[in-house]
Chains A and B, each alone.
Chain A
Amino acid sequence: MTSVAERAQEIVSNYKGKEGVLIHVLQDIQGEFGYLPEEAVRVVSEELGISLAEIYGVASFYSRFYFVPRGKTIVRVCRGTACHVRGSGRVLGKLEEGLGLKSGETSPDLKFTLETVNCVGCCALAPVVVVNEKPQTVLNPDKVIATLKRSGNGGQD
């Protein structure tokens, strides 16, 4: 057995015999690997006796489950209302251009993932971009892009 499958096995074993745990298991698996690797999902399916189709159905319903590996730096542009009226559309456009990615995409070298989020609850800081879970106000998108590219990992200035 590969290490992914083994680790998945360990995670599932914490939940065996309980009901209604699928989302928890998937959250833990994603916490471990950063996304839901197919190998791991197969283990979950066998161990919990839930078909792959059903797992896919549940996971695809929620926006926070991912089926492909994600970038090391995750850049999320807030598209909530407060950010919207303070120009987050422009910020998103600039970042898409600067990173060469469309929203939802990951760069082939797995450095960056760019995505949008509906409000992170920091509306007073609008417009907000969250870099690896750290929200920040964007006054100048070009500067954010420059910092991101320079550090390649955090971009928090």
Chain B
Amino acid sequence: MYEELRAEVARLGLTDVEVDFTGCHGFCEQGGLVVVEPEGIFYTHVGVADAREIVDAHLRQGKPVERLFYRDPVSRQAVPRYHEINFYKKQQRIILRNCGRINPEKIDHYIANGGYQALRKVLLEMTPEQVIEEVKKSGLRGRGGAGFPTGRKWEFGRNVCADKKYVICNADEGDPGAFMDRSVLEADPHAVIEGLIIAGYAIGADEGFVYVRAEYPLAVKRIRVALEQARARGFLGKDILGSGFNFEVQMKEGAGAFVCGEETALIASIESRRGMPRPRPPYPVQSGLEGRPTTINNVKTLASVPVIIERGADWFASIGSEKSKGTTVLALSGNIANSGLVEVPMGTSLSTIIFDIGGGILNRKRLKAVQTGGPSGGCIPARIPHTPVDYETLTMVGSIMGSGGMVVMDEDTCMVEVARYFLSFTQAESCGKCAPCRLGTKQMLEILTRITQGKGREGDIDTLFTLARTVKETSLCGLGQTCPNPVLSTLHYFRDEYEVHIKEKKCPASKWQRLPRRPLRK
């Protein structure tokens, strides 16, 4: 389609038009997307044949193509401009500020949008301590799952004495049903690299790594291109911008193991060993890669840093809820009308996200539950739709913020099956190093499978509880410590569903279908 647009513009000799590609707009449900600036006219579902029409009618004759406008899923009204579309209107895009707006393979686009200004300011006007102070004041917390305050992590990193330190960007994004990091890397790779360089400066590291999941070939390519460009412009290398600061970044590709998103396993993988976690302490900030102090941050954490420096900690801290500052990027998917990437201030309620931005449930079905945090998270039932999405509240209701996956489930979804699904995932991905996780997940999976098959026994629910608690309390790493969450939260909110399965040997949700039917679309 892109090729077609280009060819058509060239054919008609339109000289004042520039056709370019961007990374993901985040509105994946409606792809392929074309935006005509400066009016901001937004075309959806554009195919190769439509491209000609856009060029001819809109660009040449100035008549926008109404047929391709976005239609509101509820009112069916055509909405020509993208900032008028509910999906975008209710969002606040900070981490995704450049996504869909710049060509990710052109460093000049990033720079024209204020890119690398923060780095300049940091290197030429600020001491590392001031940078750390600013990040601390902003209240930024890690977007990789645990929500540890980033400024404090950096301070630890800074205060460890060593002749060599490392910083790592964790781009392993292993949670199934999550694609935030991928989108950021593909649409705005320089923001992540700029954040990583700033982290390096703050901590006193001269070498950084980006550890990317192998399932993301396009992200791998975009980072490679971005690193080369940054190097060519002198943002990487020796004596960056004449500040005397040296910094190099290498990219490492993963090889397909979920547990490698865990920081100590990730380090083992970079060292070319089996990616097994080890007990902490010592934490990586004390002893990480090659035994050297290593600070690890998530993609979105790092992408937030340049904006904080540029616009100030106070501005950032003014967004969000009391203890969770800034915005959160969610990957909205499942049985929802508008799947895609959503960025909202922390503390936005689930119902705003699902109904106002997400356009509600597909096929007029009812919402049953929302799963957040992937295999480490839990299911939040529809009866508490006003739950604010931030670290504290989600933990309180038995789920976690996690990295931002948000899978919406409709009334046909069987909750026991959901728990079984996640357990089958964690059981397969358990690295096998510690017994509770290795054996406990297997036991739980067996029981859950039995229940979904209508062979559940009296007492299974109690056994599940005991197992889940044991695994949670005694596992070595975060994988084991969190993998019972899907079981515990579904047991808590949907215990009656388990009971019907066991006692009446039937599934109240999907009438013995193991899987919900695929919803008809549109």
Contact = CB atoms under 8 A, between A and B. Distances in A.
Interface of A: 20-24, 26-27, 57-58, 61-65, 79-87, 89-90, 117-127, 133, 139
Interface in B243-301: 253-258, 269-276, 290
A23 B256 CA distance: 12
Nearest to B186: A121
- Counting chain A CB atoms within 10 Å of each CB, the highest count among B177, B271, B274, B276 belongs to B177
B272 A123 contact: no
20 contacts: A23-B255, A24-B272, A27-B255, A62-B275, A63-B256, A64-B214, A64-B255, A65-B255, A79-B425, A82-B333, A85-B334, A85-B409, A86-B519, A89-B514, A90-B515, A118-B429, A119-B177, A121-B183, A122-B179, A124-B179
Contacts of A84: 176-177, 421, 515
Contacts of A86: 334-335, 518-519
A120 to B, nearest CB: 5
Contacts of B182: 121
B460 interface: no
Contact of B518 (A62, A64, A127, A133): A127
B502 interface: no
Nearest to B429: A118
A62 B257 contact: yes
Contacts of B179: 119, 121-124
B257 A89 contact: no
Nearest to A91: B518
Given A27-B255, A79-B425, 13 more contacts: A20-B272, A58-B272, A58-B273, A61-B431, A62-B256, A62-B257, A63-B257, A79-B176, A80-B177, A81-B374, A86-B334, A87-B516, A119-B176
Contacts of B407: 81-82, 85, 123
B333 A123 contact: yes
Contacts of A127: 518
Contact of B271 (A20, A80, A90, A139): A20
A43 to B, nearest CB: 17
A118 B272 contact: no
Contact of A23 (B258, B272, B334): B272
Interface in B195-233: 214-217
B28 A125 contact: yes
Contacts of A26: 255
B303 interface: no
B275 A87 contact: no
Nearest to B289: A20
- Counting chain B CB atoms within 10 Å of each CB, the highest count among A63, A81, A86 belongs to A81
Contacts of B273: 58
Given A20-B271, A23-B255, A82-B407, A120 B215 contact: yes
B174 interface: yes
B108 to A, nearest CB: 27
Contact of B274 (A57, A82, A121): A57
Contacts of B339: 82, 123-124, 126
Contact of A123 (B177, B275, B413, B515): B177
Contacts of B340: 124
B381 to A, nearest CB: 16
Contact of B176 (A23, A80, A124): A80
B29 interface: yes
A81 B405 contact: yes
A90 B518 contact: yes
Given A63-B256, A118-B425, A124-B340, A85 B269 contact: no
A132 B8 CA distance: 30
A83 to B, nearest CB: 8
Contacts of A133: 217
B178 interface: yes
B150 interface: no
A147 B29 CA distance: 24
B344 to A, nearest CB: 17
Nearest to A127: B518
B517 interface: yes
Contact of A20 (B253, B270, B331, B518): B270
Contacts of B390: none
A47 B290 CA distance: 22
Nearest to B219: A121
A61 B257 contact: yes
A22 to B, nearest CB: 4
B53 interface: no
B272 A81 contact: no
Given A20-B271, A86-B334, A121-B215, A81 B421 contact: yes
A89 B515 contact: yes
Interface in B295-340: 331, 333-335, 339-340
